[in-house]
Structure 1
């Protein structure tokens, strides 16, 4: 009887396993074969069971249902020159043309299409996130526009050809940087990625957005990284490069479990044949939020690739058959959001987003721009300058939570963020606590006060805007501390609350970029909060701005102010420095200046 009971239990277990295998559920069994066109150009031939076949036929016959493809900003000057494949370096591999060629083969085999934007001219990986050459020296706002244009151009071309991607990555292994922008500068980092994401959402909001971490383990900072991604990036799923584990996959379970708690999907976007069963079991265990896995370059990568290679002959081996058995075991099917075969381009309705911020801060958007695709989820975050605090929302948003998320947007959004001044010093404002347009924060040229200075880009319209709060109204002296290491004057305008009060102020050469000089302007200031904008007027841009200071934040008659400025001019001249007042040389005598300022 004991032996019979054991047999019955064993039979039940076997039947149960068969029943589980028979339950079809969406699960991705994918591979990244971005090297295939390069290898085929070198004469690569692919075999299975002694028969030469197209690589995609072999993969399809082994249960693979999804293909991942990488692409670069300008592979002609980057990736193609540094390719490991040995293919012709004068061919722009992994550019738009080659992406379209691979997408056609993917669609012809009714597989899912996963497009990976490296956001660089060459390989982007954990410690290698170079700025694309054409983006170098640009402000973050400009880089955001370039990121949007790069992704949108690619997406539009694919959609026009009926080759809609089903999933898209904006950035590859973005553990610490993307396109050279550090995660420590979270707003700038998020702007690059969200600009690319916006281009995808505008193309088709049903396309899934994926963010990738290169080492999803506790000791590699995954939790902190994910918290920043979740708070600042528009995404649908988190994937990881699951090459290594310290405890048989439990580290992956723990880290991706943080994502699943937020009802977001997880997947492995890179692993190798050493751990096929383990990796797939981990992600299958996450149920509907465990989307699946992708083998990275199964034809040629790792010590245990899924093809044996003899010269240019690639033969499917037992490791590829192991992946086939996984697909059969899970009875893997494509998710319903995958659109196999060629598709027709769909025009996505846009919803307007109007935001405004009072003096003292700005608003960050998870999807950058003045419109978003209908049905999107949008997060607005009110960010105060140093010395200010967020006071609350007005318009379509209410409350005092600085971060607000609007889900499933169906109509236009109009929101205003209010800020209030809380600093004790109302006369002194450092450049690091200001709003930038085509301007970069730097600290490399010494001699500045505070943490650094603002480098106005070499273009007309680059600017810095300070939020100030003065106790009294009337005419005020404002000192600007600047450096101009060029040989030419760099003229700027000065505006208060959007109204130009100084049309052109020459900022002369100071000799070196480490030589800081002052100039004074007279502004008519209201009491309370105001914005003061310094904007470049020449193609060479403006000078570096260190700070502004209000010398006399109280009512005085214009003649008294002029006299004080003249006295300062004479003192500075005797110290060997040049001093300018509203762009005018100090060569005039006292009487003529008083006449100018008392008109």
Structure 2
């Protein structure tokens, strides 16, 4: 398992859609057009960690436990670090959606706590049986407004109460306890979406600190068209590091390499005014964004810049509709072109210098 003294600056990729893409004929190649295994391409190009999401019982089966085991084994075979992201849902869990799995909908709060504990432990025991344990676990995904609504909901004036925060924290604590019951060395990340919002970040982590939630890594999403400027991100990272003394990972981010939209597709980011000034929607602009982002993370005070994960760099538009009912809207935010050929923006990872961060993974 993990070497707790190992120093690694995380250059990670979330490739949760990889399995579905491969199963339906999608493929990847290096810049020379030679088809290769995606994880091999990533490793050759300086990626050292992979993040996967897991859903309880998703439509189509992708990102469930069975498929997660198969992909996790491949990650381990490549010698890459592995972060597992529990959504505790049958579909997307994010600031707008934190709905319970269908099988848990009628559980009481106490039953829900036990379900979180049992499910988390069962997943990890299964991975352990296949020599595919993660090095780190997220207990929830972008849980700024809570999770497992409505029992663990804290977003909005109606739910932002001391009682609700205690219930939310109680659910998270059961998840953390389950992780530690399987392997005490697995590190715990608590992930919110407010990369450029210091006030909301402090509010969240102050609450968790006061409620005694014990975790190892702060995880933040930072998408500039939603979360502000790079300066706002830098200021937030510095303040959180000084305030809490924990390593911080920008665990979701992305930037476009084009605004070109193939016929019948509408990107989630498709307007010039959604871009950061000085960072065009081009391979060069994407490369510059990544270099500057990584520099900001490396400069976090106290050596607490843990690294980053690029969200779905390989989600190419290889099929029209995805198993969870999601349209193609991310293909210009990848690090591969529409045909799956690697972009030159991976050079940003090659220039990332070793950090002094003790990352615990």
Helix, strand or coil at the partner of 1:221: helix
Kept after mapping to 2: 8 A contact 1:63/1:323: yes
> Cα deviations across residues 36-74 of structure 1 (Å, max 9, x unaligned)?
010001111111022111111100010000000000122
State how 1:230-309 maps to structure 2 within 5 Å.
230-232=209-211, 233-244=213-224, 248-261=229-242, 262-273=244-255, 274=286, 275-286=289-300, 288-300=303-315, 301=330, 303-309=332-338
Bigger proportion of residues as strand: 1
What is the distance in 2 between the residues matched to 1:325 and 1:131? 42
Change (3 A) 1:104 1:335: farther
What is the distance in 2 between the residues matched to 1:281 and 1:222? 21
- 2:348 alignment partner, one of 301, 322, 342: 322
What is the distance in 1 between the residues matched to 2:206 and 2:356? 31
Q: Indicate yes or no: 2:139 matched with 1:159.
A: no
Change (3 A) 1:335 1:226: closer
Q: Indicate yes or no: 2:49 matched with 1:69.
A: no
What is the distance in 2 between the residues matched to 1:148 and 1:142? 10
State how 1:254-403 maps to structure 2 within 5 Å.
254-261=235-242, 262-273=244-255, 274=286, 275-286=289-300, 288-300=303-315, 301=330, 303-310=332-339, 314-326=340-352, 330-331=353-354, 337-338=360-361
1:182 aligns with 153
Change (3 A) 1:230 1:253: farther
1:200 aligns with 179
> Cα deviations across residues 412-468 of structure 1 (Å, max 9, x unaligned)?
xxxxxxxxxxxxxxxxxxxxxxxxxxxxxxxxxxxxxxxxxxxxxxxxxxxxxxxxx
Change (3 A) 1:332 1:31: farther
Aligned residues between the structures = 295
Kept after mapping to 2: 8 A contact 1:114/1:166: yes
What is the distance in 2 between the residues matched to 1:278 and 1:147? 38
Change (3 A) 1:174 1:221: same
Q: CA shift at 1:281, angstroms? A: 1.4
Kept after mapping to 2: 8 A contact 1:112/1:334: no
Q: Mind listing any 5+ residue stretches in structure 1 that lack a counterpart?
A: 1-23, 81-88, 339-599
Change (3 A) 1:59 1:227: same
Q: Mind listing any 5+ residue stretches in structure 2 that lack a counterpart?
A: 1-5, 155-159, 256-285, 316-329
What is the distance in 1 between the residues matched to 2:65 and 2:50? 16
Q: Indicate yes or no: 2:190 matched with 1:211.
A: yes
1:141 aligns with 110
2:327 aligns with none
What is the distance in 2 between the residues matched to 1:277 and 1:146? 42
Q: CA shift at 1:288, angstroms? A: 3.1
Q: CA shift at 1:335, angstroms? A: 6.0
Q: CA shift at 1:282, angstroms? A: 1.6
Helix, strand or coil at the partner of 1:63: coil
2:36 aligns with 53
Higher Rg: 1
> Cα deviations across residues 501-524 of structure 1 (Å, max 9, x unaligned)?
xxxxxxxxxxxxxxxxxxxxxxxx
What is the distance in 1 between the residues matched to 2:304 and 2:207? 20
Q: What is the TM-score with the length of structure 1 in the denominator? A: 0.47
